[in-house]
Amino acid sequence: MDLSVLVVMNNRSVCEQLADHLGRAGMRVRGATSLVQAEALVDEPVGMLVVDAQMPDGDGLDFGQRLRSYLGCGVIMCMDRDDKALRIALLRGGANACLVAPIDPDELEATLISVYRCLQAPSPNPLPMQVPSPWLLDGRQLVLRAPNGRSVAITSLEHCLLRTLFSGVDRRVGRSVLVARLAEAAPGYTEARLEALVSRLRAKVVRKCGLRLPLVSSYGHGYRFDGYFSLL
C-alpha cells in the first residue's frame, strides 16, 4: 500500500519506534516531535496523520483539522490515558480514530490501513490530493500573495500583524501580545486600532485578491490564521 504518514509525537524515542515499524510495513513515513517541526514537513501530500492530542507547542486535534482542511488526510489521535470523555470529544472534533498510549505498533498499522481504506472509498467526484498553494508573505516588498496568484500591497503594520500570527503557536496569538508588538512600531497602539487594522486588511484582501483572508477571531484568546502560508 502506497501510504504516506506523518507521525507527530511528544516522545522522540516513541516517534522513532513507530516510524520505523511503519516504514518496515511499506509506508512512507516522516516523524516530528513538535507541531512547528511537523508544519515544516508538509511539503508533499500526506495521506494520514498520527498525532498526540496534547503537544508541547499546541493542540494536536487543531493541527489535524487544519492539515486535513487542505490535504484531506486522515487523522489518528493518540491519548496518554484511557479517558472516555476525551476520546468522545476527539472523535466528535473530527478524529478518525483514537489510540491510547503506550501505542502498539501493530495496532497503529492496522488502524492506519483501515482508516485510509475508508477514506479512499470511491466518491462521485474524486479529487487528487495536492499540497495547497500557500499565502505568501513578502516582508521585503510588503506584499501578500493569495493562493490564486493575485497580490495585495500591505502596510508595515499589516506585515507585523501577519508575521506575528505566523510565528504563534497554532498560528494563534492573544490580542495583548499583538497590541504590544504593533506598539513597537506605533507607540500608544490600542485594541480598538488592532480590530480596525484586522477589518481593513480583510476587506482589502477580498477586494484585491477575490479571496477571504483566513484570519479569524479566536474566542477568548485573540486571532489565528487558519490557512497554509509561507514566508518569502
Average pLDDT rounded to a whole number, residues 77-101: 92
Query: Can you give the pTM of this predicted structure?
Result: 0.58
Answer for the pair 105, 17: CB distance below 8 angstroms, yes or no: yes
217 DSSP β-pair partners: 223
DSSP 125-148: S-----PPPPEEEETTTTEEE-TT
Average pLDDT rounded to a whole number, residues 175-192: 91
**Rg, C-alpha atoms of the chain:** 19
Percent of the chain past pLDDT 70, that is, above it, reads 91
DSSP 90-111: HHHTT-SEEEESSPPHHHHHHH
- Over residues 44-85, the pLDDT tens digits come to 778 999 999 989 888 898 888 888 877 788 999 999 998 999
DSSP 178-203: HHHHHHHHSTT--HHHHHHHHHHHHH
From 46-50, 83-87, 166-170, 222-226, the region with the lowest mean pLDDT: 166-170
